[in-house]
Each structure stands twice: as structure tokens, then as C-alpha cells.
Amino acid sequence: MLFYNNRYSVLSRALNRIYNVPILFYDKRLIQLTMELSSKTKATNVLDVGTGQGADTILLSENCDYVVAIDISKNALVAAKVLSQLNKAQNNVSLVQADAENLPFQKEIFDIVYCKDVLHHVSNSILTVQEMKRVAREKASIIAVEANALNPQMIAIGLIYYSVDNGVFKNTGPRLANIFLEAGLQNVQVTETECLPRHILFEYRSPLSRFLDSHNAVMLRLLASIETNWQNHAFLSKFSNYLIVSGRKESNHI
């Protein structure tokens, strides 16, 4: 907890997620996939569990009427508030300090319940998903984005930050799908996405990222082409950066 409180107090890290063109490209792509998997072009209420510094919350707010974002870290929520104000998203975003395993909401409120890089941190991932399901409406989608244990970049990050990120090594498609099934969700599927090591290439300390900022249009077309072609190779996609696991809350599994 102390590690992430300190990490999330660095505002430049949060600003990078919004103003760094290649990182924003990838984050928008993840949110687009989330909306496609939820089968909703526009949702009413979305819950972002473990929002961190709020970058995904802001992007979600562009695709729904209202987003509630929770995080256990107070420092994270301070950064998320600044980011939402800078992006004029505060009118349809609420930030709440809360524990993912004990969500402070009544049941059946949200159209989509979303989390990214959360399940490998919590002490009980099944309980967390059950909580996400509890606050979801009937037929709502529950979606989790997790680092892929087979991806070289994520393996490196997991080793560097082993004390807090060692849970990454459990993130296989079958295990994540089983968590959703154990939590009582239906229509569970796992989608692989992203091939380039974006955290290494494009983070705010990367000179490559600063160079590419002046060649935005060409760079974005190139990134889109690379990622689309990668996605079409079933074998290669198994080593993608992220796994997106999705499921649905059915009426007889409340």
C-alpha cells in the first residue's frame, strides 16, 4: 500500500497517461475494446474499480453518462481529481476511497463494472469479482484487464517490482476465466490485446516517446497497423501485453 501511495503521488506519471500520444492511443484502444465486449455503445453508469490515478476513468466517462471510480489509495484519488478537472470530466465522474473487496454500493446499480491491473493485487480475486457482480445490474458486463503472464514486458515488470507485482505471474487466460466462472458469471471469454512493449517504449522517461510526439499522424497509423496485424495471428497474440476477461451477470445468477 505504501508503495502505491508514493507512486500515485507523482502527478507527472498521471499526466503522461493523458498527454502522451502513444500511451493515450493504447489506453483509448483498451477502452474501445471494453465497450465492444460490453455490447454497449453508450452506458448509463459505469464503475471503475481500482482507478489508480484516474486515466481510464476519464476515457470511460467519454463513453457513458456517469462513472464512479474507487481506489484504496488516497494519493491516487488526489491525482485522479486533478486529472478529471484538467480534462473537464469532473461533471460526470465521482471518486470514492474504498476497498475493492468490500464495495460501498447497493446491489444492481451499474451497467458496466470495470477494473484494470487490480485482480493480481487483491488478496481474494474471486471475492473481488463477486463484489463487482453484486453491484452490477442484470445483463451487465464485468470486465477485467490484466497483464499477461506470458508477455516478456510484463514478466520484466513483475520481476523489477516483485514485492508488489508478483501476482502478475498467475495471470494466464484459463486462470482468469476460472475466477470469473467461480464468481458466478456467464458468457466468460478472454481476449488478448497489444503487442508492442508500450511501457518500455513510450513512458514519459522514454526519448522515443518525446521524438514521436512531433510525428503524431504517421506514428498512430503505424501503431494501428502493427496492432491490427498482430491481432490476426493466433499464436503470436498469446504473448500480448494484456488479457481482457469479460463476463455477464445473468438473471438466474444474482
User: Does residue 254 sit within a domain?
Assistant: no
- The two beta strands, 136-147 and 110-116, are parallel
The pLDDT, as a whole number, for residue 41 is 65
User: Does residue 119 sit within a domain?
Assistant: yes
Model confidence over 137-159: pLDDT tens digits? 999 999 999 999 999 999 999 99
User: Does residue 97 sit within a domain?
Assistant: yes
Alpha helix ranges (H) inside 39-86: 55-61, 74-86
Please measure the distance between the N-terminal and C-terminal CA atoms of the chain and give it in whole angstroms: 32
- The answer to whether residue 182 scores a pLDDT higher than 70 is yes
Specify the CATH number for the domain of residue 10. 3.40.50.150
Burial 138-167 (b: 16+ CB within 10 A, else e): eebbbbbbbbbbbbebbeebbeeeeeebeb
Range of the domain at 92: 2-248
Mean pLDDT of all residues in 75-88: 91
The pLDDT, as a whole number, for residue 231 is 75
- The interaxial angle of helices 125-134 and 173-182, nearest 10 deg, is 50
Model confidence over 96-137: pLDDT tens digits? 999 999 999 999 999 999 999 999 999 999 999 999 999 999
**Would you state the cell numbers that stand for residue 73, as one nine-digit string?**
489509495
d(CA 211, CA 157): 24
Which is higher by pLDDT, 218 or 177?
A: 177
| Whole-Å CA distances, 105 to 73, 93, 109, 116, 139 | 18, 16, 8, 19, 18
User: Does residue 176 sit within a domain?
Assistant: yes
Contact status, residue 68 vs residue 47, Cβ threshold 8 Å: yes
Average pLDDT, the chain: 90
| Residue 49 phi, psi dihedral angles, 5° rounding | -90, 125
156-160, 195-199, 201-205: the lowest-pLDDT one: 201-205
> Where residue 253 falls among pLDDT bands split at 50, 70, 90?
very low
User: Does residue 98 sit within a domain?
Assistant: yes
Task: State what percent of residues in the chain have pLDDT above 70.
Answer: 93
Burial 35-56 (b: 16+ CB within 10 A, else e): bebbebeebebbbbbbbbbbbb
The pLDDT, as a whole number, for residue 199 is 84
- The answer to whether residue 254 scores a pLDDT higher than 50 is no
User: Does residue 124 sit within a domain?
Assistant: yes
The pLDDT, as a whole number, for residue 80 is 94
Model confidence over 235-244: pLDDT tens digits? 778 999 999 9
Closest by CA to 185, choosing from 45, 60, 37, 27, is: 37
The number of folded domains in the chain is: 1
d(CA 150, CA 242): 10
> Which of 88-92, 185-189, 205-209 has the largest mean confidence?
185-189
User: Does residue 253 sit within a domain?
Assistant: no
